[in-house]
Structure 1
Amino acid sequence: MSKKYQKCFITVGTTRFDLLVETIMSPSVLESLKKIGCKVITFQIGNSDFQPGIYDKEGVQINVYRFKDSILDDIVSADLVISHAGAGSCLEVLEARKPLLVVVNEELMDNHQIELAEQLQIDGHLYYCTCDTIESTLEMLDFSMLTPFPKPDPTLFIKYLDDVFRVKPKAK
């Protein structure tokens, strides 16, 4: 992996994903992040029991907060984003054209997040893992292999509506 990811943004969204918070803050995962060049982490922790603040662990500066009105500035200023698999978070990062590693919360019931993460990985837009595999995943990924997420095309919806509501000529 030739690119260095000095600034990393990590988000759990509006949910509680304590396992991801604990996993990221572990010395071994912080070391894996350092290996890919990470020096600064901005970490949105949601409702976690972990305390917001500024930390220096394993030589990485970690700025921790719970919520903001918008995380777009954090996404845009990051070299790499690690996120839970919520659809809103994934799309916001992909639309910002940032490399994305999604961590699936396996504790969720009826876990639609894994289906989204799998499909977006199959399509080549992101990589996904679990908390158990994040360390090994970080060590083997090549984010340069990802395909940019396509920009929205509003004309497709208009074409669809035209096709659905087109009045068909009556047969004579």
Structure 2
Amino acid sequence: MGDIEESVKQEKKVVFVTVGTTLFDALVRTVDTKEVKQELLRNGYTHLIIQMGRGSYTPAKSEGKDGSLAVDYFTFSPSIADHLRSASLVISHAGSGSIFETLQLGKPLIVVVNEDLMDNHQSELAEELAERKHLYCAHPQTLHQTISDMNIESLLPYPPGDAAAVAKLINRFLGFPDD
């Protein structure tokens, strides 16, 4: 095999999945399915790293041989910043910290809404940012379809320092009137 072919074949494209400090087994279980892994492979991703938090579901590790996805996982890390920086795609729970940290790094993001949470303001934030084309929003059962349909080039960068827009969103979610 020629050097050029070898370098193309070896290009590492990491998908980082984070549930933060929450319990979100539905997301971990979903990214561990054959359907999601096949869609990620079809989109050129080579590695799947899952931060599973307090979850009890343990995904299957894989070396990534024979054209399969390399899969690894961990529970917690003092900082996920390095994982976010090295990711080609981030799949996250709907926590505002994870969302904004990923958007500030300019990484493509799919936010998966945890339907088990009551009074889920996080989903409203994710849906609003998806409407503004800064990220994709999915549910565990629609994640493979979102990956299949997504066009990362169509996402718009999140304007850094746009605190006024964020504050307005948060105020609206909390029920305060728009000024």
Q: TM-score, normalised by structure 1?
A: 0.82
Helix, strand or coil: the match of 1:133?
Answer: helix
Q: Can you list the C-alpha shifts for 1:8-35, whole angstroms capped at 9, x where unaligned?
A: 1110110000011111101111111111
Q: Give the deviation of 1:71 after TM superposition.
A: 0.3
Structure 1, unmatched stretches of 5+, are: 157-172
Q: Can you list the C-alpha shifts for 1:89-108, whole angstroms capped at 9, x where unaligned?
A: 00000000000011001111
Among 88, 101, 104, the residue aligned to 1:95: 104
Q: Give the deviation of 1:66 after TM superposition.
A: 0.5
Helix, strand or coil: the match of 1:70?
Answer: coil
Runs of 4+ more than 6 Å apart: none
- Correspondence for 1:116: 125
- Correspondence for 2:21: 14
- Relative to its length, the structure with more strand (as a share) is 1
Q: Return the alpha-carbon distance in structure 2 between the equivalents of residues 47 and 108 of structure 1.
A: 15
Specify the code of the residue in structure 1 equivalent to 2:56: D
Helix, strand or coil: the match of 2:116?
Answer: coil
Conserved? CA contact 1:124–1:147, under 8 Å: yes
- Relative to its length, the structure with more helix (as a share) is 2
Q: Give the root-mean-square deviation of aligned CA atoms.
A: 2.1
Question: In the superposition, relative to structure 1, how do residues 153 and 116 fare at CA in structure 2: closer, same or farther (>3 Å)?
Answer: closer
Q: Return the alpha-carbon distance in structure 2 between the equivalents of residues 81 and 153 of structure 1.
A: 21
Q: Return the alpha-carbon distance in structure 1 between the equivalents of residues 32 and 59 of structure 2.
A: 13
Larger radius of gyration: 1
Structure 2, unmatched stretches of 5+, are: 1-10, 165-179
Helix, strand or coil: the match of 1:67?
Answer: coil
Is residue 73 of structure 1 aligned with residue 82 of structure 2? yes
Q: Return the alpha-carbon distance in structure 1 between the equivalents of residues 28 and 14 of structure 2.
A: 17
Conserved? CA contact 1:39–1:61, under 8 Å: yes
- Correspondence for 1:27: 34
Question: In the superposition, relative to structure 1, how do residues 59 and 109 fare at CA in structure 2: closer, same or farther (>3 Å)?
Answer: same
Among 54, 59, 62, the residue aligned to 1:47: 54
Q: Can you list the C-alpha shifts for 1:123-170, whole angstroms capped at 9, x where unaligned?
A: 11101010110111111111111111111168x7xxxxxxxxxxxxxx
Q: TM-score, normalised by structure 2?
A: 0.79
Count of aligned residue pairs for this structure pair: 152
- Correspondence for 1:84: 93
Q: Return the alpha-carbon distance in structure 1 between the equivalents of residues 136 and 162 of structure 2.
A: 24
